[in-house]
Amino acid sequence: MPEAPRIEGLPIPQRYLAAAAISLGTALTTIDGAIATVALPTIARDLNVDGSSAVLVVTVYQLVLVMTLLPLSALGDQIGLKRLYQLGQLVFTIATALCFFAKSLPFLLVVRALQAVGAAAALSVMSALIRSVYPSDKLGRGLGLNSVVASTAGAVAPTAGGLILGFAPWPWVFAIGAPFGLLSLWLGRSSLPDVPARPGRYNLAGAILNMATFGLVIAGLEALVHGSSPVVSLAIVAIGIGFGIGLFLHERREAAPILPVDLLARPVLALSTAGALFAFIASMSIILSLPFRLQHSYGLSPKEIGAMIAPWPLTMMIVAPTAGTLSDRYPAGLLGGIGMVIATIGALLIAWLPHAPSYADIAWRMAFTGAGFGLYLSPNARLIVGSAPRERAASAGALVSTTRLTGQTAGATLVAALLALGIGASPTPALIAAGLTAVAGVLSIARLRPSVRVPMRGEAQAAEVAARTEFHGA
């Protein structure tokens, strides 16, 4: 018997209220994830610890976030996406309030880990909720809007943090996100879609293996750069890889795996995920290494450097929603391929700066490169989330977030390693980034092959029915 047509998206104005609730949650998790860096020297002084120990406030947050995103997305499938999203916002807001009681670094690290769990709970189901909020022909627009919110929040977070520290103690830096959380909770109660839960046995073994894999590999790579024993660091990475092999073998036998090996077995999703990983490593390599180069090689001040880098996120704020809207009409493989060509040219232009660059010399290069990444990332996320079966939408969204965080962490580790080798403040990081974006571009164009291409518009519903049949028959 043919399946009844699905009514997609929420009616207006509920759609707008739900989009506002999700946008506020995005702002909350992005701001508190990015703003802590500004407060690290103040935290180190007030808690009587050295600067390297204070950096744990950032690294613990990132590590817990990467470790828990995929396991929590599976939990969202079982208890309901809306319930987990709201619970994550509540946990994050409570943890933010606990920052005011932090009188020691260990307590603050526990609170930051709790914040990361709350953020992961919200982020793990955010894309799946967006897919339920918008009709399929407007999904790219919805994901693009969310990208704008994230980019804007990330861009203003350091400035806002500096202003707060000028007038208030450092716990208020974390508290800036609390109003976003409370408002998101209030709006979400009545506006977020009630996506049916799929009760069943939770894949606990997969969750543990997933957390061990990501935790040990990332911690080992960080220790390899910053630690004193390369042998121990490599051993930690090797153990993490061993857990990863066990995770892969275990998840292949699961009907709904936590590590979405079923989705990655589909060529279009594998190509999109791999390309996104390379793109995020490349963007982080440029953004983190360029300040060192501008300061060491050209003698620019931090204020000048900040002004020169700002065109990158500002351009992405404009390009990302436009690219998201275009991805509702044109193949992501084409848009992403064009975007990565632009990003590759931009990275090469950044590598080959003039001998004495002016503000304009650097600013237009940053804007040009940022436009390339904006043209790639939004359509890529739309393709991953939109082409997965609805039953696996939460896993697909968590895969997008996990890929982004893993790529950013790998990019930061790469820059730290290059700095340790004495070439981090040279054109080398930008040249490496150009190579990575070129690979991402090739992977993007490969998605245009007829055997890989995702159906557009009128074909989407039939493709989804086929995907659901494939999923249930696996």
User: In the predicted model, is pLDDT for residue 1 greater than 70?
Assistant: no
Please tell me whether residues 159 and 225 are part of one structural domain: no
Domain boundaries, position 264: 259-474
Q: Does 2 fall in a domain?
A: no
Please state the separation of Cα 383 from the chain's center in Å.
15
Cα separations in angstroms, 368 against 22, 295, 303: 29, 22, 21
Higher-pLDDT residue of 319, 474: 319
**Domain final residue pick, 184, 219, 253:** 253
Please tell me whether residues 131 and 213 are part of one structural domain: no
**pLDDT digits 0-9 by tens, 437-471:** 999 999 999 988 876 665 554 434 434 444 343 33
Residue-level pLDDT at 443: 94
Residue-level pLDDT at 184: 87
Which stretch of 17-31, 108-122, 273-287 has the lowest confidence by average pLDDT? Answer: 17-31
**Domain final residue pick, 198, 226, 243:** 198
Please tell me whether residues 249 and 294 are part of one structural domain: no
List b or e across 151-178, with b for residues whose CB sees 16 or more CB atoms inside 10 angstroms: bbbbbbbeebbeebbeeeebbbbbbbbb
**pLDDT digits 0-9 by tens, 326-365:** 888 888 899 999 999 999 999 999 999 988 888 889 999 9
Please tell me whether residues 182 and 269 are part of one structural domain: no
Please tell me whether residues 169 and 51 are part of one structural domain: yes
Residue-level pLDDT at 227: 67
CA pair distance 172, 361, nearest whole angstrom: 37
Residue type, position 57, single letter: V
Residue-level pLDDT at 213: 93
Please tell me whether residues 306 and 443 are part of one structural domain: yes
Please tell me whether residues 125 and 271 are part of one structural domain: no
Q: Does 5 fall in a domain?
A: no
**pLDDT digits 0-9 by tens, 391-443:** 787 888 888 888 888 888 888 788 878 887 888 888 999 999 999 999 999 99
Q: Does 446 fall in a domain?
A: yes
Residue-level pLDDT at 118: 92
For range 365-377, the mean pLDDT: 92
Range among 28-32, 73-77, 153-157, 198-202 rated most confident: 73-77
Comparing C-alpha atoms, which of 92, 85, 90 is closest to residue 111?
A: 92
How many structural domains are present in the chain?
3
Residue-level pLDDT at 302: 66
Please tell me whether residues 283 and 398 are part of one structural domain: yes
Please tell me whether residues 192 and 54 are part of one structural domain: yes
Whether the Cβ atoms of residue 166 and residue 48 lie closer than 8 Å to each other: no
Please tell me whether residues 210 and 317 are part of one structural domain: no
Residue-level pLDDT at 472: 38
Please tell me whether residues 238 and 367 are part of one structural domain: no
Please tell me whether residues 315 and 420 are part of one structural domain: yes
pTM to 2 decimal places: 0.79
**pLDDT digits 0-9 by tens, 39-89:** 777 888 888 887 667 777 877 888 898 899 889 988 888 888 889 999 998
Phi-psi region of 457 (alpha: psi -120 to 50; beta: other; left: phi over 0): left
